[in-house]
């Protein structure tokens, strides 16, 4: 998860702002070359900022050295920082263990106190070591189920001590039982409606746990494709109350944390979705920024894929992610809807009008 990414999605102006901010999360993404001194540094180097005209950016230390620069002795960009080493060692230990690894053991492994390690790990990966291990177990169980293993086999193979532990850990997170992961919603009742909005026809579907599908220009056929074995029913009175909240969230996009969701993804996808929900209404982030915030700065393409895998448009606001150059980029339901959602958010939260001009 915690690996440097490539810098293809960052232009020089953005890199300069990162260097001025001394943002540690971009260490390893690129280096800053100061040609007036002949030195290259990490983006987070604490040294006084050079003049912009003396600075060039390089993807790797090797590129900077090929240009005749030498490594800064203060921030040592060619070495792995202690915090990075601690995070990498912790990730290796967590991935290699089926049983939970305590903070105390990780602290002994890395030479950090448990409290400090928790802080360093959470900042880098986007979740605590315990949450990361739980996410790994869920992902392993899902992969095993998708491969055709029985529920019991998948649960034990993923590292759970008993099936009851699996269900207890996931009861508030997943609306569907484990068998539904491979059985297309078998045994699950999904209520749905297709309704008109100012953005076009909208499909909304929900299990008893929360909304599992929100999309535009789709109908019940899409639900049957995604959940071929689920019991699909037209929404009842209780569903109508939920639908009214969703329509309001679409017509007046912004915060909708009160609307329950029933979604499932890999550990990284869910980390991306969590970060999407943290973007303030009316603001945007690049794919590179989301990848870094989700704990894998190198996974820019994977962040884009996770964005596209979002099954509940607007409620998980993937429309707030744009290209690195600030242009609006793609959207599953068309750039017009994306532009309108952003414009409404900006107007409601800052009073501005349209955001972009492609």
Q: Which of 120, 140, 173 is the last residue of a domain?
A: 173
* Backbone phi, psi, residue 331, to 5°: -160, 140
212-266, pLDDT tens digit by residue? 999 999 999 988 988 898 999 998 887 888 899 899 989 888 766 678 888 877 7
Active-site residue identified among 45, 75, 212, 318: 318
Q: Where residue 47 sits, what CATH number does that domain have?
A: 3.40.10.10
Q: Is-catalytic flag, 41?
A: yes
Distance CA 135, CA 141 (A): 10
What is the block-wise mean pLDDT of the chain (358 residues), using blocks of 10 residues? 44 86 76 95 90 93 92 86 79 82 92 88 75 75 52 52 53 49 77 93 90 92 90 87 90 76 80 88 90 82 87 92 85 91 84 38
- Within a domain: 242: no
Q: Is-catalytic flag, 318?
A: yes
Which segments of 37-76 does DSSP mark as H helices, in order?
61-66
- Within a domain: 131: yes
DSSP character string of 157-211: HTT-SSHHHHHHHHTTT-SS-TTHHHHTSTT-EEEEEEEEETTEEEEEEE-SSSE
Active-site residue identified among 41, 45, 72, 75: 41
- Within a domain: 229: no
The alpha carbon torsion through 207, 210, 216, 222 (nearest 10 deg) reads -20
Domain residue limits at 133: 80-173
Helices (H) and strands (E) in the chain, counts: 15, 10
Distance CA 30, CA 324 (A): 15
3-state SS of the chain: helix, strand, coil percent to 5? 45, 15, 40
Distance CA 76, CA 40 (A): 9
35-65, pLDDT tens digit by residue? 999 999 999 898 999 999 999 999 888 899 9
């Amino acid at each position: 998860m915690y690996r440097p990414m490539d810098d293809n999605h960052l232009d020089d102006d953005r890199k300069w702002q990162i260097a001025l901010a001394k943002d540690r999360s971009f260490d390893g993404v690129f280096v800053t070359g100061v040609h007036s001194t002949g030195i290259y540094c990490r983006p987070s180097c604490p040294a006084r900022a050079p003049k912009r005209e003396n600075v060039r950016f390089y993807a790797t230390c090797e590129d900077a050295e090929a240009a005749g620069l030498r490594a800064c002795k203060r921030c040592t960009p060619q070495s792995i920082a202690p915090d990075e080493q601690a995070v990498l060692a912790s990730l290796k230990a967590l991935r290699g263990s089926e049983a939970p690894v305590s903070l105390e053991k990780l602290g002994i492994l890395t030479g950090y106190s448990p409290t400090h390690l928790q802080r360093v790990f959470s900042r880098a990966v986007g979740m605590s070591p315990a949450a990361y291990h739980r996410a790994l177990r869920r992902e392993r169980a899902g992969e095993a189920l998708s491969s055709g293993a029985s529920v019991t086999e998948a649960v034990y193979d993923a590292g759970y001590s008993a099936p009851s532990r699996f269900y207890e850990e996931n009861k508030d997170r997943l609306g569907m039982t484990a068998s539904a992961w491979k059985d297309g919603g078998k045994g699950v009742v999904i209520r749905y409606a297709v309704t008109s909005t100012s953005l076009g026809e909208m499909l909304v579907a929900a299990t008893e746990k929360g909304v599992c599908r929100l999309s535009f220009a789709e109908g019940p056929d899409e639900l049957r494709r995604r959940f071929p074995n689920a019991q699909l029913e037209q929404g009842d009175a209780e569903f109508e109350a939920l639908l009214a909240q969703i329509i309001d969230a679409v017509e007046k996009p912004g915060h909708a944390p009160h609307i329950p969701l029933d979604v499932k993804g890999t550990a990284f996808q869910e980390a991306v979705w969590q970060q999407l929900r943290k973007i303030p209404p009316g603001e945007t982030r690049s794919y590179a920024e989301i990848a870094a915030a989700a704990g894998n700065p190198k996974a820019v393409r994977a962040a884009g894929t996770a964005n596209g895998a979002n099954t509940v448009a607007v409620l998980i606001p993937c429309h707030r992610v744009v290209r690195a150059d600030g242009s609006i980029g793609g959207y599953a339901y068309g750039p017009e809807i994306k532009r309108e959602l952003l414009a409404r958010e900006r107007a409601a939260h800052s009073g501005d009008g349209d955001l972009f001009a492609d």
